[in-house]
Amino acid sequence: MSQPIVPKFEDLDIDRLAKLTGKIVVLVPATGTMDVGTRRVNKLMKGTLKNFISRTEFEEMKTGAATTFNAPLGMDASGVVLLKSAARPSVDHLRDLGATAAKAIGHSDVHLLLAKPYKVEELLFGLSLRRYQFTYHKTADDKPYGAVTALTNKPAETAAAYSNLDAVAQGVFFTRDLVNEPANVLTTSDFADRLVALKDLGVTVKVLEEADMEKLGMGSLLSVGHGSKSPTKLVCMEWNGGGDEPPFALVGKGVVFDTGGISLKPGAGMEDMTMDMGGAGVVAGVMKTLALRKAKANIVGIVGLVENMPDALSTRPGDVVKSMKGDTIEVINTDAEGRLVLADALWYCQETYNPTGIIDLATLTGAIIIGLGHDNAGVFSNDDTLSANFLKAADVEQEGAWRMPLGAGYDKLIESRIADIKNVGGRAAGSITAAQFLQRFVKPDMPWIHLDIAGVASVKSETSFAPKGATGWGVKALNRLIADKYEA
């Protein structure tokens, strides 16, 4: 699995700067004031930095941007990267600066000169997230990233502050790796095995097999995998870091590949459906983060792992299946399978764990992309407090999220003539009717959020903190929510 950077933390000894190799990163605020480390670098470079700062090029340089001075005279370093920072950089700004630095330094070793009392750990966090790469299936030698050293006045304190952020980065990387994996590698069994391995971190993991689910009456979830040779599984992960209180729950859709089943998708773009397990991937990443940072909370993560394939045994459009709750579902479109997975996973979660609240995540609808694009996930909730808490956490962590409506009027669109409910309601309000379907499997007094992450789980172009592909969206926000609202 991919690993974030493991930075070294050392005292800022300006007498060593001339002999440092790789690239050196300095921060200069818009005022042009240089700290002690930057002043020494400027002296070694015969005034090059001061001369640049005094010119209009620096004045016109955007705050947060980088300029690189290659092969600086008087130094062994291959380059000096100047980051123009705000005078009083916020956490968001420091993370952005870290991501900018990651792109500017490439694969080089790097020394970060951070003499001022900034939150150095936040800059390192941004750098670490942006340095992710997924190259396991490339046969050519891929150049590894170089070492990262933070030179600060308080290295021990900075290292301690970074430890929790490193746990978040590891969770994000775990999610990205899962979402980026091709479906012939990340089968339902392989996915389950990777989650079982979280036992090494102290997570309790239970895997329900098809026979177990049949006994529980999970006809909705099981119907999705009838056409696949890969066995359907339900994996339950428990992190018990709190007291005796009931847990908060995360539930994820884990469709490792989605052909659409009998309602076959168009061939163009179907290769992207390896990411249809993105919701389960986020749940896995959060559970890993919580375990690594020893969160003082009780959290359960449940993921339904299944593959949706066309076959003689596949569920057909028009079939009626029975959920664990007991409600019958007319399957109008077998490509609306994620809600069938989540229906039973949600009900099992409530019946087994009686959580204080639930957030489910799924790459559920293309309709949410039409509505919100790739900048925001859709947030559907029956609880204003839980919704507000999550939206605040997402905003703090720079993860786009936008609340969408729910309402009884939408239920009319998914009424079935022959069953209790049907799994699609037509093109109108497609993401909303999907959420209304899921709400049917949430008990009336249960605080609940449904996150439709179809537009944000994996993207075609790079983002601020990730190369193109899997983003790991949601790990940071959910970890923040748990830290702020559910830890003892």
Catalytic residue numbers read 265, 339
Spatial distance between the Cα atoms of 29 and 282, rounded to a whole number of angstroms: 36
The b/e string for 407-438 (b: 16+ C-beta within 10 A; e otherwise) is eeebbebbeeeebbbbbbbeeebbbbbbbbbb
Query: Over the range 103-138, which residues count as b (16 or more CB within 10 Å of their CB) and which as e?
Result: ebbeebbbbbbbbbebbbbbbbbbbbbbbbbbeeee
Q: CA 145, CA 372: separation in Å to the nearest integer?
A: 34
- C-alpha 345/C-alpha 302 separation (Å) is 7
Judged by DSSP in three states, 435 sits in helix
Q: What's the residue count for the chain?
A: 488
Q: What are phi and psi of 65, to 5 degrees?
A: -90, 170
Taking the CB of residue 234, how many other CB atoms lie within 10 A of it?
27
Burial of 92 (0-12, 13-18, 19+ CB in 10 A): middle
The enclosing H or E element of 308 equals strand 298-308
Which DSSP category does 486 fall into? T
DSSP 246: P
d(CA 23, CA 41): 12
With a CB cutoff of 8 Å and minimum separation 6, the contacts of 236 are 205, 206, 207, 208, 300, 301, 302, 352
